[in-house]
Amino acid sequence: MIWLVLGLIFLLVAVVIFVKGLPPSRPVIGKVASVTLLFIALICFASTSYVYVGGNQVAHLKRIYGGSSLPAGRLIALSGENGFQSRILSPGFHFEPLLTVINDVSVLPMVEVPPGFYGLIEARDGNPLPSGAAFAAPWPEDEVKDMLDASYFLQNGGQKGLQTTVLKPGVYPLNLYLFRVKIGEGNVEVTYDLEGRTDADGSTDTLITEIPAGFVGVVKSNVQERPGSECKEITNSDVSALSVALVPRGCKGIWESVLNPDAYYINREAYDVTLVDTRVQTWKYRGGYVKRSIKLNVDQQGKIGQTETTDKVVFNPNDDADRAIVVKVEGWEIPQEVRVLVQVTRENAPYVVASVGSLREIEDRVLTPTIRSIVRDVAGGSIQLPRVDGGSGYAVRKTRVLDLIENREALQNTIERKVRVEGDKAGINIKEVRLGEPVIPPELLVARQREQLASQLAAAYQQEKLSQDERIKTEKSRATANQQSELVKAEIDVEISEKRKLERKNLGEAEKSYLTALADGQMAQAQVLGEDRVVMLQALEKFLATLERKPQLVELVSKLVPEVYVSGDGADGLGGAAAILRGTGMFSGSEKSPN
């Protein structure tokens, strides 16, 4: 304003000097002075007619003079009225006559939304919100850029108040007289408004909504984007217990369609997004009981002893759905651990959220009490088993304690079938129900355990005996291998003795045959010659054999036998024998007499 006053003064002085020709004595000097003052006046006027806007800044105008009054209820001027102007000046040099005189110019920062966040928009002017609406209708996707222009926003149905549409990461030259933007970065709330940028502690969270793999996002909308005629309620006839109604996408309420895994710039003030895990999950019912057991042992004498121990099984609420289920069978209270595999399908996820709120609440409020009740009823009731008498079909009888071990599969199938029905009612797909090891009182098992241990000991002793026998055979084989040379010699000696035995046997048999043949010949000879002559011949043969072996006996015999030997043909037959003796030449000088 001061530059305008100075400019007017210089202009007025220049005109006076030029018109009156001051000073009269030197009119040329007066003209030069008037031109100079006129130039200074123009500079003063020019200094009020331009604005330079730096980078990442926007010049905002508030008209002070020369405009009409704003209509009632309006804050932003569209046609040059006095007050906050809808137009802004972008970075650069701007010239407009008397710009800074007519307007109060404020240079404010551009709105900067960092990556991973979005900006909440609030409009200070515009059409009023419909009755019952908390947020303005979302801007059409293809008009978002235009709606950020204040003039376009106000002239094309922009609504006052919190906007459903948000600013995605980027830098925006907004009219901060109209728009107010909040960005929540951790514990810091950044606000852009007519005061510029301010950072303060706040709880506003404008992080983008990320839906990870294995999840879906169920949306509860607080904004009516579509006409009421298009927002008819939808129910799922397949989920019998979940009679809640959903709405189509774009309507106020819980949407039937879900958000798939991705990153979304969703106004969390206008939309509530609940993440639902669609992966298969395991609910474990375990812990919260004391486990008693009897341990058997065997001493050095082979006697079986027993020792009782206790172990406290702790319930972990962070990992387990609930404590183990205590069932009563035949008067015994038995903790039974259970494992259930469940899954929420993407189609049923909106119904689960609409009916209960979350999978955790379904687990705690609906299915866990149901599962506990079904397990108690089935385990403590009756059991259906195939007939043991060879007939077809099944037999039903009261459940026994040992059925929890021996017929566990039959109990599992019955429990799983009943739990699956209840899960379908809640929109939960029951994949599997498995019973863990029951904590049966050790008194019921110790007799069987002792019998099994005794059988195992007997088998162990038998196996040990076989092992010892095998070891003896091995040692014997090793000793035999070490004495192999002596064994071979002994085997050869045995074979030699066997051969000699056979030789002697054969010699004996030959001698026997010879003597038998000789005896037979002698008997035949005796029958021909007579036994006396045969005896004499045998004696003679022996005598001759002796002489053959010992010739020196001949000289001795010659002294005993007469030199002249006469034989005749007597009836005794000795003449022939004497003739034989004479023919041998044994007796020299002997005379032979005629018959």
Point out the domain boundary residue: 73, 108, 143: 108
- Residue 322: inside a domain, yes or no? yes
How far apart are alpha carbons 11 and 210 in whole angstroms?
A: 66
Per-residue confidence at 595, pLDDT binned at 50, 70, 90? very low
Q: Are 48 and 56 in contact (CB under 8 A)?
A: no
Q: Check if the beta carbon of residue 263 is closer than 8 Å to that of residue 298.
A: no
23 prior amide bond cis, ω within 30 = yes
Which pLDDT value is given to residue 11? 59
Residues 121 and 63 in one domain: no
Q: Please give the residue range of the domain that contains residue 204.
A: 112-277
Q: Is the pLDDT of residue 85 over 60?
A: yes
* Predicted pLDDT of residue 126: 92
Residue 180: predicted pLDDT: 95
Q: Are 435 and 337 in contact (CB under 8 A)?
A: yes
Whether residue 186 sits in one domain with residue 50: no
CB neighbourhood size of 20 (10 A): 12
What band does 592 get if pLDDT is binned at 50, 70 and 90? very low
For residue 292, what pLDDT is reported? 85
Regarding whether 262 and 305 lie in a shared domain, the answer is no
Which one-letter DSSP state was computed for residue 442? G
Checking if the pLDDT of 58 tops 90, the result is yes
pLDDT tens digit sequence for 6-17? 555 655 656 665
Q: Determine the Cα–Cα distance for residues 254 and 269; give it in Å rounded to an integer.
A: 15
In this prediction, residue 341 carries a pLDDT of: 95
What's the CATH code of the domain at 302?
3.30.479.30
Q: Is residue 55 part of a domain?
A: yes
Least confident of 34-38, 379-383, 544-548: 34-38
Specify whether 259 is located in the same domain as 135: yes
pLDDT tens for each residue of 457-471: 778 778 878 888 888
- Tell me, yes or no, whether 319 and 340 share the same domain: yes
- Average pLDDT of the chain? 81
With a cut of 50, say whether residue 88 has pLDDT above it: yes
Residues 411 and 295 both lie in one domain: yes
**Lateral strand order in the sheet of 179-185:** 161-167, 119-123, 179-185, 188-193, 196-201
What share of the chain in percent tops pLDDT 90? 33
Q: Are residues 364 and 409 in the same domain?
A: yes
Model pLDDT for residues 179-230, shown as the tens digit of each residue: 999 999 878 999 999 999 999 888 788 999 999 999 999 999 999 888 878 8
pLDDT of 589 strictly over 60: no
Average pLDDT estimate for 23-33: 61
Does residue 503 fall inside a structural domain?
no
Average confidence (pLDDT) over 275-304: 85
Q: Which of 423, 449, 475 is the last residue of a domain?
A: 449
Q: Which residue has the higher pLDDT, 260 or 232?
A: 260
Asked if the structure places residue 422 within a domain, the reply is: yes
pLDDT at 591: 45
* Residues 358-382, mean pLDDT to the nearest whole number: 88
- Of the residues 83, 108, 133, the one at which a domain ends: 108
* Mean local confidence (pLDDT), 300-321: 84
Q: Specify the pLDDT at position 38.
A: 64
Between CA 77 and CA 63 the distance in angstroms is 9
Q: Are residues 90 and 147 in the same domain?
A: no
Domain co-membership, 103 together with 158: no
CB of 569 closer than 8 Å to CB of 595: yes
Q: What is the pLDDT of residues 93-102, one digit of tens each?
A: 888 777 777 8
Average pLDDT estimate for 584-588: 50
Percentage of the chain lying above the pLDDT 70 cut: 80
Q: What would the two tokens of residue 535 be?
A: 């005896």
Identify the pLDDT of residue 29: 63
The yes-or-no verdict on residue 553 having pLDDT over 70 is no
Q: 95 and 29, same structural domain? A: yes
User: Would you say residue 536 lies in a domain?
Assistant: no
Position 502 confidence tier, pLDDT thresholds 50, 70, 90:
confident
pLDDT at site 435 = 93
* Interatomic CA distance for residues 343 and 416, integer angstroms: 14
- In this predicted structure, what is the pLDDT of residue 93? 85
The answer as to whether 439 is a domain residue is yes
Higher pLDDT, 507 or 76: 76
- Asked whether the predicted pLDDT for residue 142 surpasses 70, the reply is yes
**Of the ranges 136-140, 395-399, 429-433, 545-549, which one carries the lowest mean pLDDT score?**
545-549
Q: How many structural domains compose the chain?
A: 3
The pLDDT of residue 186 is: 78
Q: Would residue 185 count as lying in a domain?
A: yes
What is the rounded end-to-end Cα distance, in angstroms, of the chain?
213
Statement to judge: residues 319 and 441 lie in one domain: yes
Q: What is the pLDDT of residue 579?
A: 54
- Count how many residues are written for the chain: 595
Residue bearing the bigger pLDDT, 564 or 367: 367
What are the tens digits of pLDDT across the range 412-460? Answer: 999 999 999 988 888 889 999 999 989 888 877 777 777 777 777 778 7
Is there a domain that residue 466 lies in? no
One domain for residues 290 and 228? no
